[in-house]
Amino acid sequence: MIELIAIDLDGTLLRDDKTISEGNRAMVRKAIDNGVDVAICTGRPLEAIQQFLDILETNTSDHYSITYNGGLVVENKTGKVASQVTMSMADAKRLYDVMASLELPLEAVLIDAVYQFPFPENHPGLYQETMNFLPFKQFDMDNLDPETAIFKVVVNTETDHLMGVIDQIPSWVYEDFEVMRSHPFQLEIMPKGVDKGTGVSHLADILELTKDQVMVIGDEENDLAMLKWAGTSVVMANGRPDVKELADYITDSNENDGVAKAIDHFVFFETDN
């Protein structure tokens, strides 16, 4: 029996215009009202999902969110940290040097802001265009506290440019960190061992649940780890083909209440029939 549903945001719970449909909202509330925990699982920080928690009425101390692609599990209302893993400023400096050599812009995501390091002349970072509700600050690497805790660093640039140089990223980056594309134009780098699978696992432990009691819903590369871990894995119709290969069930698209249909199928099918 499913007791926890972890849901990705972009391309999954959210439509392309970044809104939650009434069908998805109502079905999430029906699940919660029937005793199923529902958690957003996203690469975004907590500050970037507050409006969605309000819509789902989960902005309370008895609900959790999994943010920074699994790097931080927090209580929604209080922001109390239940689990977190970060990288150091020294780690960010190593990554900045590599990305600068490839003319890739790098931005570091902290608990309360995004730090923009000097961009390559012809390739500015574009992360602010998609996360314009977050505070962005421009910094030189040498002016930051070496003890600063970083949840992830992001390369967000033109898709053609990223794809043209991504194969030149040294192997040690993949060996020392978790690296994944969350969008065709965005590369995210987290501390080793951090992914949505570990984040969902940590939340399941907090709630004293087994993986067989957990359903996850996603669509992109950064959802792969949680899709592999969970007892029930659902992928959107608009998901990547390689991500769909891990699905126990392929639901409708993010534009057509795919999340609601998946919850109805797995949580309420037996009780309604």
Please identify which of the residues 8, 10, 37, 195 carries the catalytic annotation.
Answer: 8
Within this chain, do residues 137 and 210 fall inside the same structural domain, yes or no? no
Domain presence at residue 262: yes
**Eight-class DSSP state of 11:** T
Q: Are residue 93 and residue 186 in the same domain, yes or no? A: yes
Higher pLDDT, 126 or 131: 126
> Is position 118 within any domain?
yes
The domain that holds 134 is classified in CATH as: 3.30.1240.10
How does pLDDT run across 13-68, given as a tens digit for each residue? Answer: 999 999 999 999 999 999 999 999 999 999 888 888 999 999 999 999 999 999 99
- Give the range of the structural domain holding residue 102, as residue numbers without chain letter: 89-191
Answer yes or no: do 243 and 166 share one domain.
no
Domain edge (last residue) among 154, 174, 191? 191
Among candidate residues 81, 149, 85, 83, the one with its CA nearest the CA of residue 115: 149
Is 8 an annotated catalytic residue? yes
Check whether residue 172 and residue 238 sit in a common domain.
no
Please report whether residue 179 resides in a domain.
yes
Dihedral (C-alpha) 105, 106, 109, 112: value to the nearest 10 degrees?
-70
Same domain, 174 and 152: yes
170 and 215 belong to one structural domain? no
Query: Are 70 and 13 within one domain?
Result: yes
Identify whether 273 is part of a domain. no
CATH number at residue 54: 3.40.50.1000
Instruction: Mention every residue, 6+ apart, whose C-beta is less than 8 A from residue 149.
Output: 86, 87, 88, 110, 111
Instruction: Provide the 10 A C-beta neighbour count for residue 102.
Output: 17
In a domain, residue 126? The reply is: yes
Same domain, 57 and 123: no
Determine the pLDDT at residue 271: 45
Tell me the pLDDT tens digit for each residue of 181-232: 888 999 999 999 999 999 999 999 999 999 999 999 999 999 999 999 999 9
Per the structure, how many domains does the chain have?
Answer: 2
| Confidence grade of residue 273 (pLDDT, cut at 50, 70, 90) | very low
Do residues 199 and 80 share a domain? yes
Which residue, 213, 236, 238, 217, is CA-closest to 226? 217
The CA angle 145-75-4, to the nearest 5 degrees, is 130
Domain limit, last residue, from 164, 191, 218: 191
Distance between CA atoms of residues 59 and 216, nearest Å = 20
DSSP calls for 114-142: EEEPPPPTT----HHHH-TTS-EEE--GG
Q: What is the pLDDT of residue 272?
A: 45
Strand partners for 114: 109, 136
- Rg, Å, the chain Cα set: 18
The answer to the question of residue 57 being in a domain is yes
Query: DSSP string spanning 213-264?
Result: GEEEEE-SGGGHHHHHHSSEEEE-TTS-HHHHTT-SEE---TTTTHHHHHHI
Residue at 252 is within a domain: yes
Domain boundary among 163, 191, 219: 191
HSE-CB at 99 with a 13 A cutoff on CA atoms is 30
Is residue 173 located within the same domain as residue 216?
no
Confidence of residue 139 (pLDDT cuts 50, 70, 90): confident
Task: Tell me: do 131 and 107 sit in the same domain.
Answer: yes
CA pair distance 39, 73, nearest whole angstrom: 10
Looking at residue 145, what is its pLDDT?
81
Same domain flag for 134 and 209: no
Give mean pLDDT, residues 143-168: 92
